[in-house]
Amino acid sequence: MDFGGDLAVLDPSMVFQVTTLCQLTGKLKLITIDNVASFYFQEGELIYATIDTRIKKLGQFLIEKNYISREQLNEALADPRVLSGKERIGNILISSGYLEYASLVAVMQDQMKEVVYEVLPWKTGQFAFFNRVEPANEDILLDIKMDNLILEGLKRLDEANKG
């Protein structure tokens, strides 16, 4: 670990801002008792995000956006290449003709944004930054400014607290 601390001292929005302002490249992990989220930055810009729990899986996002049907998802999930871990579900859906690559990219980027929104309210836990660590085998990356994500996430929190 190259940089770390307590989320009670620096909440996730502050940790994201420090990472962005310092133009860090590497992996940021936010860890709570029941969840772990990982964020990958390149020169201070968020490029990839993942979380262990609570965020919908890719297939659910694709169904909700009406890109695929439940039947198409079930068929892809039953594919032996997916079951063995040799192929990703998105690639199976594309090769089956059920999904366009551009749609996969859009949904995966939405999914990564949701990871940011999910962690913004975290007030307990730890964070750790690992310099120069890159996401393994990821070819679909996020292309949005971190400041915009933080503002959108805080706006969502504010609206949820009012409603």
Q: Could you report the per-residue pLDDT of 143-162, keeping only the tens digit for each? A: 788 899 999 999 998 898 88
Alpha helices (H) in the chain, listed in sequence order:
12-21, 58-64, 70-77, 80-83, 89-95, 101-119, 146-162
Copy the structure tokens of residue 99. 């999904």
Element (H, E) at 37: strand 36-42
pLDDT-derived band at 54 (thresholds 50, 70, 90) equals: low
pTM value surpassing 0.75: yes
Dump pLDDT digits (tens) for 103-128. Answer: 999 999 999 999 999 999 999 999 99
Closest by CA position to 103, among listed 134, 78, 82, 72:
72
Nearest 5°: the CA angle 155, 104, 75 is: 120
More confident residue, 34 or 56: 34
Copy the structure tokens of residue 100. 């366009």
